[in-house]
Amino acid sequence: MDLTFNSGDEAFRTEVQDFIAEAYTDDLKQRMALSRNGSIGKDAIQMWQRRLAKKGWLGINWPTEHGGPGFSQTQKYIFDIEMSKVGAPSAGNMGITMCGPVIMEFGTDAQKAEHLPKIRAGEIWWCQGYSEPGSGSDLASLQLKTEVKDDHFLINGSKTWTTYAQYADWMFCLCRTDNSGKKQQGISFILIDMKAPGITIDPIVTIDQPVAGQQEVNQVFFDDVKVPLENLVGNLNEGWTCAKYLLQFERGNSHAPALHRALSGLKKIASQETSGRGDRLIDDPDFRMKLADAHREIQSIEYNELRIFAELNAGQAVGARSSMLKLAGSEMGQKLQMLGVEAAGYYSLPFDRDTFGVLDGDTNEGTPGPDYASRLAPTYFNHRKTTIYGGSSEVQRMVMAKAILGL
Ligand SMILES: Cc1cc2nc3c(=O)[nH]c(=O)nc-3n(C[C@H](O)[C@H](O)[C@H](O)COP(=O)(O)OP(=O)(O)OC[C@H]3O[C@@H](n4cnc5c(N)ncnc54)[C@H](O)[C@@H]3O)c2cc1C
C-alpha cells in the first residue's frame, strides 16, 4: 500500500487549485456562506456544475470512453480534498453519480447516445425513484404498478422521499413489472420523463425546510403515466441487478475531506465561544477531549479510505466495504454537527423556518449571535438524513455482518 502523493499527483493538485481560483467565484461563495443547511438552489448548483462540465470535470468518476477525465482514485481523492478545503458545492448529482454509470453498464446504444452527453454536460437533472411508502430498507418489496402495454409502460402508484423531484427533468425508477416470483424478480429499471402527463409532485416539509420551492424531498404520484418501452434499461424484470449496481456508487464516496473541513470549522467556533468556566471553549479539557476523539476517528476514516482507494487503483473491488465507509463517514459527520450545536449553545437554538435556504439578496442579518450560529441547527437537523438514505446505519451493519464478517 503506497499512501504518498507523487509529483504527478501534486501537479494535479495545483491544477485543481487553479480551477477553483477561477471557477469558484464570489457569487457562489456568498451563496454557500449564506446557506443555513447546504441548499443553494437549482440555478446556483447548475451554474457550478456547468463550470465543472466545461473543464471536463463534472463526471470525475466517468471513464474516458464516455467523456470522463479518467482520473485515478488518488486524483479523485485530491479533487475531493481541494473542493472540501474551500467549501465548494458538491460536484455530484444523481445523473452523474448514479444513473450515468447504470446507463453505461446496462443501457442500449440509443440510451447512451441520448442521455450520457447531456448528463456529462450538466444539462439535465435526474432524480432517484427507488423508495416507496412502505418500501425503504426492504427496497425489493416495492410495488409501483407498471403494466406492459403495446408500445409503452403504464405506471400507477407513487414514489417517496424523492430528492429534488421538483427540479428533475428525468427520473430513474424501479418499477414492479411482475409479481409472480421472488420479490427481487419482477422489478424493472425504467427512465421516466418528468414532464409526462399524469405525474404530480407533492413537497414533503422537513424541519429544516428551506424557502418554498426549495424543499429537499417529495412524494411523486403516477396516474396512468405512459412511458415508451425503449426507456427500459437492461432486461425486463431484471432491474434489481441495475439497482444493486447503482448502490455501490451511492455508498462509495470519500468522507474524510469534508470531515476534516467540518472539524476545522468546529475548532474555529470553539475558539470563539466560552466554556461554562469563562475560558475559551477550545481550552476546556472536556471539549478538547471531544475534539481529539473526533480527530482520531477522522484520521482512521481517512486511512481506511486511502487504503481502499489504493486497492481500487490496483484493480481490486470495494464490495461491501463501501458500507463501512458510508457508515463511518455519515455517523462521524453527525457527531461533529452535534458538537457544533453544543459549542454555540443558546445561539444555535433560534429557529426561524423562513430564514433557511438562500434567495437572491438574502443576508444573515437579523439572526442572533455570531454568523456561524444560524447554520448549526439547520445543518444538524438536515444531516439526520445521512444515516437513513442510501441505506440506514442498521442496514449497513447488517451488510457488513453478513458480507465481511460472515455472520
Ligand atoms: C433526506 C432523504 C432523502 C432521500 N432521498 C431519496 C431519493 O432521492 N430517492 C429515493 O428513492 N429514496 C430517498 N430516500 C429514502 C431512503 O432511501 C429511505 O428513507 C431509507 O432507505 C429507509 O427507508 P424507510 O424510510 O422506509 O425506513 P424503514 O426501512 O421503514 O426503516 C425504519 C427503521 O428500521 C430500521 N430497519 C429497517 N430494516 C432493518 C433491518 N433489516 N435490520 C435492522 N434495522 C432495520 C431502519 O434502520 C430504520 O431505523 C431519502 C431519505 C431521506 C431521509
Is 373 within 8 Å of 346 (Cβ atoms)? Answer: no
Contacts of 291 (CB under 8 A, 6+ apart): 263, 266, 267, 270, 282, 339
Q: Write down the pLDDT at residue 354.
A: 53
Q: Using 50, 70 and 90 to split pLDDT, how confident is the model at 358?
A: very low
Is 160 within 8 Å of 131 (Cβ atoms)? Answer: yes
10 Å CB burial of residue 363 (0-12, 13-18, 19+) is exposed
Measured in Å, residue 402 CA sits from the centre of ligand 1 at 19
Helix residue ranges per DSSP H, 353-392: 373-382
Is ligand 1 within 6 A of the CB of residue 125?
no
Is 146 within 8 Å of 190 (Cβ atoms)? Answer: yes
Each residue's pLDDT tens digit, 250-302? 666 789 999 999 999 999 999 999 988 889 999 999 999 999 999 999 999 99
Measured in Å, residue 134 CA sits from the centre of ligand 1 at 10
Measured in Å, residue 123 CA sits from the centre of ligand 1 at 29
| Cα–Cα distance for residue pair 219/129, rounded to 1 Å | 10
Each residue's pLDDT tens digit, 127-178? 999 999 999 999 999 999 999 999 999 999 999 999 999 999 999 999 999 9
Is 116 within 8 Å of 103 (Cβ atoms)? Answer: yes
Q: What is the enclosing helix (H) or strand (E) of 152?
A: strand 152-160
Which residues, in sequence order, are bridge partners of residue 218? 203
Query: Domains of the chain, with CATH numbers?
Result: 7-92 (no CATH), 101-247 (2.40.110.10), 252-403 (1.20.140.10)
Is 310 within 8 Å of 1 (Cβ atoms)? Answer: yes
Q: Write down the pLDDT at residue 2.
A: 55
**Cell digits for 130?**
427507488
Q: Write down the pLDDT at residue 250.
A: 63
Point out the least confidently predicted range of 66-70, 91-95, 236-240, 329-333. 91-95
Name the residue at shortest CA distance from atom 22 of ligand 1. 136
Q: Write down the pLDDT at residue 367.
A: 66
The average confidence (pLDDT) of the chain is 89
Q: Write down the pLDDT at residue 66.
A: 93
Query: Greatest CA separation found in the chain?
Result: 75
Residue with cell 437492461: 234
Measured in Å, residue 316 CA sits from the centre of ligand 1 at 29
pTM attached to this predicted model: 0.91
Section 5-30 average pLDDT:
94
Is ligand 1 within 6 A of the CB of residue 397?
no
Q: Using 50, 70 and 90 to split pLDDT, how confident is the model at 362?
A: low
Position 5, amino acid: F
In the chain, what percentage of residues exceed pLDDT 70?
Answer: 92
Is ligand 1 within 6 A of the CB of residue 221?
no
